Amino acid sequence: MVPAGGLAVMSEPLTDAERAQLRELLGRQIRQGQDQARAEGRRVGRPPKLDDADRAEIRRLKDEGVSVADIARRYPGVSQRTIYDALRGHLI
């Protein structure tokens, strides 16, 4: 097992119980870090593909009758599904 704050040097394979314990420890540390980041007001997770200005522009284009496929082509790396989500008001 890994000492607290230490580095693991593997000399033999982990047992299933050790592997499960390590996964639990890593998961706990990740959640603690995320909780701390949220408490400090930072966003946790994947950054949004579209900002507020993009979502407003997408709504305007759709209101003008531009197809979702054409709107998606204007935003490289953004799928039609993301455009539909933006039109529904979901944060993407």
CB neighbour list of residue 21: distance below 8 Å, 6 or more residues apart: 1
Estimate to the nearest angstrom the gap between the alpha carbon of 9 and the chain centroid: 31
Distance (Å, rounded) from C-alpha 76 to C-alpha 79? 8
Radius of gyration of the chain (CA): 22
Amino acid at 43: R
Estimate to the nearest angstrom the gap between the alpha carbon of 58 and the chain centroid: 22
**Structure confidence at residue 48 (pLDDT):** 86
pLDDT in tens, the chain (92 residues): 556 666 666 678 888 889 999 999 999 999 999 999 999 999 899 888 999 999 999 999 999 999 999 999 999 999 999 999 999 987 65
Distance (Å, rounded) from C-alpha 15 to C-alpha 20? 9
